[in-house]
Structures are given as structure tokens and as C-alpha cells.
Amino acid sequence: MSTAVDDDLWSAIGDPVRRTMIDLLLAGGPGTATSLSERLPVTRQAVSKHLAVLDRVGLVHSAPAGRERHYQVDQAQLARAVAQLSAVGTAWDARLRRIKRIAEAIERDRNNDQGE
């Protein structure tokens, strides 16, 4: 049932700037707030705030690098997020198969009743 999906994780990933940041980090390897801000239409301060949100939900990890921090994507956490969402679709497939089975059983019962 999908309320079990981690809401904080999804609001973290729901922001388009943060998704672009994840994409940049996946494609280009670890980055800093400065290196990311050079490739995004937002300030370094804004990038830092977004990185903090991603860090809080475990989508990125950081390590000190001189005066800055190097951030990289936690691919296991990202994979977990993707798995949760494909599970939403799979869950509906299962529910619809049960709806079909129940409705067809009711229909057969009614037809049998009428035939007797």
C-alpha cells in the first residue's frame, strides 16, 4: 500500500532542481556545491540547501574535500526509490487481477441462478 512509500524521500526527489543535481552527479561523478552551481541556473547557496535535503534522506553522501565537501549519489537509496515506484504499478496489477476474478465469479453465479 503506497502510503508506506517514504514521503520525505519523495518530496526530496520531487524537486526538479534536485533531480537535475542527482543526474549531474550520476553522470559526472562526485561534485561540490560550487561545481554543481556552475552547471545549474541557481546560486551556490541554493545548491547547498538542496544538497542538504538530499543528504538528509540518504540520496547523497558527502566527504570533506579541502574547504568544500564532495557529494555523490547513494545509488542503493536511489534504486530503492525506483523500486518503490515500480512496486506501485505491480500492486495495481495484482489488485486488478483480483477484481477480475471476483467480478467473473459473481457473474457466473448470477448466470447459474438464472439458468436453474
Partner 1 sequence: MEHGSIERDIHVDASPEVVFEVVSRPEHIREWWSDDARFEPVAGAPGELMWCDAETGETMTAALAVVEVDPPKRFSFRWCFTGADRSGPALLVTFDLAPAGAGTRIRMTETGFREMGWEIAALEEQYRDHESGWDHYIPALGAYVARPVLTA
Would you tell me which residues interact with partner 1 (CB under 8 A)? 1-5, 7, 10-15, 19, 22-23, 26-27, 75-76, 78-100, 102-104, 106-107, 110
At position 21, the amino acid (one-letter code) is M
34 versus 108: smaller Cβ distance to partner 1: 108
- Least CB distance to partner 1 at residue 17 (A): 12
65 versus 91: smaller Cβ distance to partner 1: 91
38 versus 109: smaller Cβ distance to partner 1: 109
